[in-house]
């Protein structure tokens, strides 16, 4: 039986200034990083694909805020935010987007293939659905080693109709893997709406058939995400129970830089309506009203974020191209 009705709050500490600063800071960092990445793309500094998560920042920030540094996270190609929130250095993330040698993947992976072992961020996967079985493997490895880490796996609504999603749900339930499955339901897979691809559009309900706790959450509310993921982490860490979370969110930009506004398959009114739920503005206003942050605190966070991202761009610009001899290193090959 799915546990949507579960009302118990996670045993998390109350929000204070330090936490509010972190949550707002992480969301602003992701937003600013991606705005700058879009500019750099337009200037021809970034090649290949670039998928922005602008509008979806509360999921990465809220979920990561309840993780330990040694917990694992694994994601899709729309992963800048998940990787940054997990603690990766924005300078090395930007350098990767620029295809430079100081990038997280030595400039050989680009935007869709960020990896950072130092913070246990395991990608950056371009094939829709393909990383879900890999994530289950991470959960299996945690149990095999007798460890108490958890693994958060982010994926889009577009992965749900695929076999890999169902295989991974089944195995995580059957083998009691310490997984937190987070579906970022932004209602579109490229230009295909959820309603055109799924017979069951309430994605969290798929947890029910596999007998694992599952629930939807407002993915624009960073504290709601923090709470639902906090409870899931407790279950995963203490008794190896996996959870499926459907975070209802929205991307304000198009699918990728080739579809900058996403204007063909959704109305302008819909986009404008969703922008009223901007997770950063909502949390900033809430934090000021609750007295967690002052207006001056918010300005200071903004300045710090802007400085860090300007520094990241300068670092990426200054980093050399990978040398040609690196073409044949770090790859699977037969000698």
Ligand X SMILES: Cc1ncc(C[n+]2csc(CCOP(=O)(O)OP(=O)(O)O)c2C)c(N)n1
Contacts with ligand X, residue ranges (CB under 6 A) = 78, 126-128, 156-159, 184, 186, 188-190, 255
Min dist. Cβ of residue 159 to ligand X (A): 5
* Rg of the chain over all Cα atoms, to the nearest angstrom: 19
Q: Which residues, 141 to 200, sit near Mg ion by CB under 5 A?
A: 156-157, 186, 189
**DSSP label at 14?**
P
CB nearer Mg ion, residue 119 or residue 160: 160
Min dist. Cβ of residue 156 to Mg ion (A): 4
Q: Cβ-closest residue to ligand X?
A: 156
CB neighbourhood size of 15 (10 A): 15
102 near Mg ion, judged by CB under 5 A: no
CB nearer Mg ion, residue 148 or residue 218: 218
Distance of CA 232 to the CA centre of its chain: 16
- Among ligand X, Mg ion, none, the one that 318 touches (CB under a kind-dependent 5 to 8 A) is none
- Among Mg ion, ligand X, none, the one that 219 touches (CB under a kind-dependent 5 to 8 A) is none
- Among Mg ion, ligand X, none, the one that 89 touches (CB under a kind-dependent 5 to 8 A) is none
Measured in residues, the chain has a length of 335
Min dist. Cβ of residue 191 to Mg ion (A): 11
CB neighbourhood size of 176 (10 A): 16
Sign for the CA dihedral angle at 191, 109, 61, 166 comes to positive
Q: Which residues, 189 to 248, sit near Mg ion by CB under 5 A?
A: 189
CB nearer ligand X, residue 193 or residue 306: 193
Number of amino acids touching Mg ion (CB under 5 A): 4
CB nearer ligand X, residue 159 or residue 179: 159
Those residues whose C-beta lies under 8 Å from the C-beta of residue 301, and which sit 6 or more positions away, are 21, 24, 25, 28, 293
CB nearer ligand X, residue 200 or residue 238: 200
Q: What are φ and ψ of residue 82, in 5° steps? A: -65, -40
Cα separation values, 256 from 101, 241, 252, Å: 24, 35, 11
Min dist. Cβ of residue 255 to ligand X (A): 6
Task: Print burial letters for 280-293: b (CB count within 10 Å at least 16), e (below 16).
Answer: bebbbebbeeeebb
Alpha helices in 176-290, H assignment, sequence order: 194-197, 206-209, 222-239, 268-275, 279-290
CB nearer ligand X, residue 24 or residue 198: 198
CB nearer Mg ion, residue 60 or residue 173: 60
- Among ligand X, Mg ion, none, the one that 78 touches (CB under a kind-dependent 5 to 8 A) is ligand X
- Among Mg ion, ligand X, none, the one that 190 touches (CB under a kind-dependent 5 to 8 A) is ligand X
β-strands 188-189, 192-193: how paired? antiparallel
Tokens of 132: 């879900």
Q: Cβ-closest residue to Mg ion?
A: 156
- Among Mg ion, ligand X, none, the one that 127 touches (CB under a kind-dependent 5 to 8 A) is ligand X
Question: Which residues of the shown chain bind Mg ion in the complex (CB under 5 A)?
Answer: 156-157, 186, 189
């Amino acid at each position: 039986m799915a546990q949507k009705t579960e009302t118990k709050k996670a045993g998390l500490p109350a929000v204070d200034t330090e936490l509010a600063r972190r949550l707002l800071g992480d969301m602003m960092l992701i937003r600013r990083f991606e705005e700058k990445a879009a500019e750099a793309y337009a200037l021809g500094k970034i090649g290949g694909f670039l998928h922005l998560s602008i509008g979806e920042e509360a999921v990465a920030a809220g979920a990561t805020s309840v993780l330990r540094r040694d917990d694992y996270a694994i994601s899709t190609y729309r992963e800048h935010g998940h990787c940054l929130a997990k603690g990766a250095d924005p300078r090395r993330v930007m350098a990767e987007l620029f295809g430079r040698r100081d990038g997280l993947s030595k400039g050989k992976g680009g935007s869709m293939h960020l990896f950072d072992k130092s913070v246990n961020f395991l990608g950056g996967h371009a094939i829709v659905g393909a990383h879900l079985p890999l994530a289950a493997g991470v959960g299996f490895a945690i149990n095999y080693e007798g460890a108490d880490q958890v693994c958060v796996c982010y994926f889009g609504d577009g992965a749900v109709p695929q076999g890999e999603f169902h295989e991974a749900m089944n195995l995580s339930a059957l083998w009691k893997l310490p997984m937190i499955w987070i579906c970022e339901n932004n209602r579109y897979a490229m230009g295909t709406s959820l309603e055109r691809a799924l017979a069951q559009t309430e994605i969290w309900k798929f947890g029910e058939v596999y007998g694992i706790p599952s629930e939807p959450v407002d993915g624009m509310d960073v504290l709601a995400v923090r709470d639902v993921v906090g409870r899931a982490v407790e279950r995963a860490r203490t008794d190896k129970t996996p959870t499926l979370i459907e975070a209802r969110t929205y991307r304000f930009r198009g699918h990728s830089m080739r579809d900058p506004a996403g204007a063909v398959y959704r109305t302008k009114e819909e986009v404008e309506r969703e922008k009223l739920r901007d997770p950063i503005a909502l949390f900033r206003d809430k934090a000021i009203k609750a007295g967690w942050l002052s207006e001056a605190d918010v300005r200071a966070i903004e300045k710090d974020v802007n400085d860090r991202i300007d520094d990241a761009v300068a670092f990426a610009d200054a980093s050399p191209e990978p040398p040609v001899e690196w073409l044949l290193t770090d790859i699977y090959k037969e000698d």
